[in-house]
Amino acid sequence: MDAALLSDDALVGGMAVGDADACLAFVRRHQRGVFGLASRLLGERALAEDVAQMAFTKAWQNAASFDGRRASAVTWLYTIARNLAIDELRRRRPEPIAAEDLAQLSSERFEVGPSDRLLGREDLRVVAAALEALPAPQRRALLLATWHGCTAQEVADTEQIPLGTAKTRIRTALIRLRSARVEADRGPQ
Amino acid sequence: MNPLKLTCAEVVELAPDAALDLLDGQQRAAVVAHLDDCARCRAEVHELLDVADLTVLLVPDDEPPVGFEDRVLASLQPSQATSPVGRWLMAAAIVIVVSLGAVATGLVVARHPSPAMSADVAVVNTEAGSDIGRVVVTGGTKPWLFMALSDQSQGAYACELIKVDGTSVGIGEFEGRADWSGRVQVPRDQISGVRVTDAAGNTLGTATLS
């Protein structure tokens, strides 16, 4: 049995004590996801590669302070990657989200099956289904906020809608996702 | 200027914005001040934050350029050879995975012989003697603890450290998570075990650490 079979928490623990096998297994498991996130936010593969690499470096540097009681290791890693990508976006000046990216947010299909990090994650399956069921404007508004780190004002500007409408769409979408999750936790009545 | 005081109803209204970090400075300060004292609103914001985090995990994977993995690993510069304690922890974690996935190995407590740093692994047993998980604890004043339970379907559970003086200290509450790790604020030499309880405080299992 090798490190690739260990949980993310165990791998982060291994990284905290400088274990090379744990580093390798952690990077191998999450490189496609972290690169995918950076690539989607930044739109440039070369820049996305730099940011994804920085994300793993930061995770490695901070592994000893990771606390599994606050968040799962994968959420922790993706938060690091997302924040780095958003910092990079803000440094480069606010660029409008490309029209094709916006259209993609409206029609995105969420594949929960094939990726290692998503296997067995029923909560993700529920959230993915709820996202797909949202009206396109709400889904776009929420994904602009969560994936792209847009403020409500930026969502309003991108969508050319009033600020209040943007806030309402984001809030409503998030609350609907939460409700779907609560319903799923309750199980069939 | 007096800080803004918010009611629960106002915080619930702002909770989605708080979860997505969309509040302005004054609102954020007021919400944080309210959450410090209100467990119900804190749970509300955490639930929404959790959902927002899940959406980020749904970003589609993308194959990185050739050589990415090598470049990342080179930049991490982990020790060329796995450190003794690292190797031991990995071994302990592997023991956990193996023994949770199959028949228990019979290992009850193993102590790493390194004089520099030790780590212990112990079985979490129910009162009836059934094996329900493993705990790994390193040495030091703020030990790192790894807990893995074999049955997530137990739902919500809490963990507490049992100290050598007989008192106990809560270290976290969990729901639907089979394993977790983190540092604890009790020195290793004051820890004699770990207890897992259900939401009502009933003991599900105990691990004894030498």
Residue A55 predicted with pLDDT over 60: yes
ipTM for the complex? 0.86
| Nearest CB to A17; choose among B61, B81, B85 | B85
What is the residue-averaged pLDDT of chain A? 85
Q: Give the pLDDT score at A66.
A: 86
Both structure tokens of B30: 């007021």
Residue A75 predicted with pLDDT over 70: yes
Q: Give the pLDDT score at A180.
A: 94
Q: Which residues pair with B162 in a beta bridge?
A: B168, B193
Residue range B72-101: mean pLDDT, rounded: 57
> Please, are residues B174 and B207 in contact by the beta-carbon 8 Å criterion?
no
How far, in Å, CA of B194 to CA of B44, rounded?
29
Q: Give the pLDDT score at B109.
A: 29
The three-state secondary structure class of B164 is: coil
Higher pLDDT, A3 or B111: A3
Size of interface A-B (CB pairs under 8 A): 212
How far, in Å, CA of B4 to CA of B28, rounded?
10
Q: Give the pLDDT score at B63.
A: 93
pLDDT band, residue A188 (cuts 50/70/90): low
Q: Give the pLDDT score at B103.
A: 30
Residues of B in Cβ contact (< 8 Å) with A53: 68, 71-72, 75
The helix-helix angle for A20-42 and A73-91 (nearest 10°) equals 40
Q: What angle do CA B13, B16, B17 make, to 5 degrees?
A: 90
Where is average pLDDT lowest: A104-118, B104-118, B132-146, B187-201?
B104-118
Residues of A in Cβ contact (< 8 Å) with B85: 17
Reported as a single tens digit per residue, the pLDDT across B160-173 is 999 999 999 888 87
Residue B98 predicted with pLDDT over 50: no
The distance of B186 to chain A (nearest Cα, Å) reads 15
pLDDT band, residue B66 (cuts 50/70/90): very high
Higher pLDDT, B105 or B26: B26
| Nearest CB to A21; choose among B62, B82, B85 | B82
Residue B152, Cβ neighbours under 10 Å: how many?
Answer: 13
Q: Do A3 and B171 touch (CB under 8 A)?
A: no
> Please, are residues A14 and B90 in contact by the beta-carbon 8 Å criterion?
yes
How far, in Å, CA of B201 to CA of B210, rounded?
24
The CA–CA distances, whole Å, from B126 to A49, B134, B195, B197, B210 equal: 48, 12, 10, 10, 18
Where is average pLDDT lowest: A53-57, B92-96, B147-151?
B92-96
Residue B94 predicted with pLDDT over 60: no
Q: Assess B74–A contact: CB distance below 8 Å, yes or no.
A: no
Residue A136 predicted with pLDDT over 50: yes
Chain A: residue whose CA lies nearest to B52:
A146
Q: Assess B109–A contact: CB distance below 8 Å, yes or no.
A: no
Q: Give the pLDDT score at A2.
A: 62
Both structure tokens of A70: 């606050």
Residues of A in Cβ contact (< 8 Å) with B82: 18-21
Residue type, A35: F
Q: Do B79 and A53 touch (CB under 8 A)?
A: no
Reported as a single tens digit per residue, the pLDDT across B7-38 is 999 999 899 988 988 888 888 889 999 998 89
Higher pLDDT, A139 or B177: A139
Reported as a single tens digit per residue, the pLDDT across B127-181 is 888 888 888 787 778 787 877 777 655 577 888 999 999 999 888 877 766 677 7
Chain B: residue whose CA lies nearest to A73:
B180
Reported as a single tens digit per residue, the pLDDT across A79-122 is 999 999 988 888 875 667 777 777 778 777 777 655 555 556 77
Residue range A39-53: mean pLDDT, rounded: 92
Chain A: residue whose CA lies nearest to B14:
A171
Task: State the pairing for strand pair B179-183/B144-149.
Answer: antiparallel
Q: Which of B162, B146, B149 is nearest to A68 (CA)?
A: B146
Residue B190, Cβ neighbours under 10 Å: how many?
Answer: 15
Q: What is the pTM of this model?
A: 0.70
Residue range A29-39: mean pLDDT, rounded: 93
Higher pLDDT, B101 or B47: B47
> Please, are residues B175 and B160 in contact by the beta-carbon 8 Å criterion?
no
Residue A3 predicted with pLDDT over 50: yes
